[in-house]
């Protein structure tokens, strides 16, 4: 009995899987990219993104409490739309989004590692990115308990150092750098929310911990809101500290390593190295957490016939095929795409997925007891950000727009192709 009990995750462990994914995906990787759009108002962009994430989190928490499942957020779409094409396409989009997020933070890991050890050699940046994906795939093959233990250690370390960084930079910042007079238009700030929202995508991963929680109907909502609260406070505080220490141009010029550069004025070279090492831990943790849903998602959807049975098989009785395929997709994305492009694609796909999920929730809201007004606000806010981002940012990035369209077309093709194959086999 004791050995069985030790397999359960605690609320803190489940929350830290989400925090680990969010912190690594966001604050270390996106400050420069968000700064090019929102300027010194990035802190406001993070705050708005946190509110939108909380609205989606409310929807997910209500669904998770009512329908706890290893299938996570895909189980919620099934409850609202059944097992038809909408759910199937959303499943493949979710699988793709997880790969995109994981590749993005792996690229950020590679950038920091290359800056620290090879003087920003771009080839080595790619090598380090690919290496961390391979290592964290092995950790996930070892099982959810090891994933949780690794995340707990990483998140405690990262949060501790980020708190020190936030306190020091806020205490020494120049308020004039954050003057409202220097902010861009509201349209630009809203457009930047799509990028900063990317930093919150880890909260969706928490829904996949339901299978590892003792009482998911109570513990899943707690884990989700705890993770979102921690991430929002950290993001806003650090964005204020960074843009209150460096000019917008300096943050943009620093690229992926803006946080480490911002530590130098207050903490010197020691601060730079401390933040760079912290970034390595955070992005490694985010890669670990990003790969985590692949196994549960593949198993559950293969069980319900929405994914091919191959996705649930184990190679050597241990390595899940669904996880290995996702790791392969991450390797390809990390090898051939730049960080900003991956973030743009991932943000758009995630906003689309979350809109589908909350729309599905609308259909079963009486069963979950969710507020119609909150669900309406959740759908509306996500849709506004997605449309604003598409017509102000993505439209100027043809490669990202084409790739996004490709992801959508591929998801539809996989869904239709698999359904026809399955129907043909059943008819024999």
Using one digit for the tens of pLDDT, what is the confidence trace for 167-215? Answer: 888 988 899 999 988 899 888 888 888 778 878 877 877 877 777 788 8
DSSP-derived 3-state class of residue 110:
helix
**What average pLDDT does the structure give for the chain?**
83
In this prediction, residues 102-108 reach a mean pLDDT of 85
Q: How far is residue 6's CA from residue 204's CA, in Å, rounded to a whole number?
A: 24
pLDDT at 26 over 70: no
Is the predicted pLDDT of residue 343 greater than 80, yes or no? no
Q: Does residue 87 register a pLDDT over 70?
A: yes
Please state the domain extents for the chain. 13-418
The predicted structure's pLDDT at residue 76: 82
Cα–chain-centroid distance for residue 128?
20
Q: Is the pLDDT of residue 92 over 70?
A: yes
- What pLDDT shows up at residue 28? 73
At 302, list the tokens.
């293969």
Interatomic CA distance for residues 355 and 80, integer angstroms: 13
Average pLDDT in the 67-83 region? Answer: 77
pLDDT of residue 2: 44
Residue 386: exposed, middle, or buried by beta-carbon count in 10 A (0-12, 13-18, 19+)?
buried
296: its two tokens? 């549960």
Tally Cβ neighbours within 10 Å of residue 104: 35
The Cα 38–Cα 187 span in angstroms is 9
CB neighbour list of residue 257: distance below 8 Å, 6 or more residues apart = 111, 112, 115, 276, 279
Distance between CA atoms of residues 319 and 54, nearest Å: 34
Of 138-147, 187-196, 303-312, least confident by mean pLDDT is: 138-147
What is 267-313 written as a DSSP string?
HHHHHHHHHHHHHHHHHHHHHHHHHTHHHHHHHHHHHTTSS-GGGG-
Examine the pLDDT at 144 and tell me if it is beyond 70. no
Tell me how far apart the alpha carbons of residues 425 and 421 are, in angstroms, rounded to a whole number.
6
Q: Give the whole-angstrom CA distance, residue 258 versus residue 253.
A: 8
Which CATH number is 13-418 given? 1.20.1740.10
Q: What's the predicted TM-score (pTM) here?
A: 0.78
Tokens in use for 364?
A: 């079963």
């Amino acid at each position: 009995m004791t050995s069985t009990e030790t397999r359960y995750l605690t609320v803190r462990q489940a929350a830290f899987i989400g925090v680990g994914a969010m912190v690594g995906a966001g604050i270390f990787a996106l400050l420069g990219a968000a700064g090019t759009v929102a300027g010194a108002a990035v802190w406001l962009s993070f705050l708005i993104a946190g509110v939108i994430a909380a609205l989606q989190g409310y929807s997910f928490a209500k669904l998770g409490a009512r329908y706890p499942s290893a299938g996570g957020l895909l189980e919620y779409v099934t409850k609202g739309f059944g097992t038809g094409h909408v759910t199937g396409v959303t499943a493949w989009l979710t699988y793709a989004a997880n790969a995109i997020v994981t590749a993005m933070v792996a690229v950020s890991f590679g950038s920091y590692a290359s800056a620290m050890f090879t003087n920003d050699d771009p080839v080595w940046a790619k090598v380090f990115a690919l290496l961390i994906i391979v290592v964290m795939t092995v950790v996930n093959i070892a099982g959810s308990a090891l994933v949780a233990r690794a995340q707990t250690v990483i998140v405690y370390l990262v949060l501790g150092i980020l708190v020190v960084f936030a306190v020091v930079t806020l205490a020494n910042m120049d308020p004039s750098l954050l003057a409202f007079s220097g902010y861009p238009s509201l349209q630009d700030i809203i457009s930047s929310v799509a990028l900063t929202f990317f930093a919150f995508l880890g909260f969706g991963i928490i829904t996949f911990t339901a299978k590892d929680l003792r009482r998911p109907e109570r513990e899943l909502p707690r884990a989700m809101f705890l993770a979102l609260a921690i991430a929002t406070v950290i993001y806003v505080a650090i964005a204020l500290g960074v843009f209150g220490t460096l000019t917008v141009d300096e943050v943009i010029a620093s690229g992926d390593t803006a946080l480490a550069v911002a530590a130098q004025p207050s903490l010197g070279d020691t601060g730079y190295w401390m933040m760079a090492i912290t970034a390595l831990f955070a992005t490694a943790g985010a890669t670990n957490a990003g790969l985590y849903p692949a196994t549960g998602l593949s198993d559950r959807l293969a069980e319900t016939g929405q994914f091919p049975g191959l996705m649930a098989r184990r190679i050597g009785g241990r390595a899940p095929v669904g996880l290995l395929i996702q790791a392969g997709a991450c390797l390809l994305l990390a090898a051939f795409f730049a960080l900003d492009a991956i973030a743009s694609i991932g943000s758009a796909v995630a906003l689309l997925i979350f809109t589908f999920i909350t729309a599905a929730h609308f259909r079963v809201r009486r069963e979950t007891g969710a507020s119609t007004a909150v669900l309406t606000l959740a759908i509306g806010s996500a849709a506004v950000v997605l449309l604003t981002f598409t017509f102000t940012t993505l439209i100027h990035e043809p490669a990202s727009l084409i790739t996004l369209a490709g992801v959508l077309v591929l998801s539809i093709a996989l869904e239709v192709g698999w359904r026809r194959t399955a129907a043909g086999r059943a008819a024999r």
